[in-house]
């Protein structure tokens, strides 16, 4: 029975650490870019877009579709970096514990 008690205690500690990590992700800011930095998107650790910076040379009223594509590409770059950051932080938290394929944290 002591093993079950220890497991429950460890699970509670892990849950508390996950909640702390979730809260800290709001403070993390990551930038993604496209067009060699002419479009820059900043997102927080929860992949919420916070800022968009555009170089004037990419703003062409006659070719809006290109600008739209560049913004999407910059956002996707930032999101990929956030996912990598979250994976690294989760790995540190889990102490190298390997999750089954397809299972991602935080849930």
Phi and psi (nearest 5°) for 9? -65, -45
Q: Which of 52-56, 72-76, 81-85, 100-104 has the lowest mean pLDDT?
A: 100-104
Say yes or no to pLDDT of 107 above 50: no
Q: What was the pLDDT predicted at 103?
A: 56
User: Where are the chain's structural domains?
Assistant: 29-94
Element containing residue 54 per DSSP (H, E): strand 49-54
Q: What was the pLDDT predicted at 40?
A: 98
Say yes or no to pLDDT of 105 above 60: no
Burial class (CB in 10 A: 0-12, 13-18, 19+), 54: middle
**CA gap 68, 27 in Å, rounded:** 27
Higher pLDDT, 99 or 2: 2
Six-digit token pair at 100?
A: 């089954």
In which residue are the tokens 């999407």 written? 72
Residue 56 per-residue DSSP state: G
The superfamily (CATH) of domain 29-94 is: Nucleoid-associated protein YbaB-like domain (3.30.1310.10)
Q: What was the pLDDT predicted at 17?
A: 79
pLDDT, tens digit (0-9, with 9 covering 90-100), for 20-79: 888 888 889 999 999 999 999 999 988 899 999 999 999 999 999 999 999 999 999 999
């Amino acid at each position: 029975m002591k093993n079950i008690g220890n497991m429950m205690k460890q699970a509670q500690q892990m849950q508390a650490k996950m909640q702390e990590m979730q809260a800290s992700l709001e403070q993390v800011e990551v930038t993604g870019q496209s067009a060699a930095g002419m479009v820059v998107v900043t997102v927080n650790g929860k992949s919420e877009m916070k800022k968009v910076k555009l170089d004037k040379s990419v703003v062409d009223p006659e070719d809006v579709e290109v600008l739209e594509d560049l913004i999407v590409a910059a956002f996707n770059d930032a999101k990929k970096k956030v996912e990598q950051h979250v994976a690294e932080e989760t790995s540190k938290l889990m102490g190298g514990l390997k999750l089954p394929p397809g299972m991602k944290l935080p849930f």
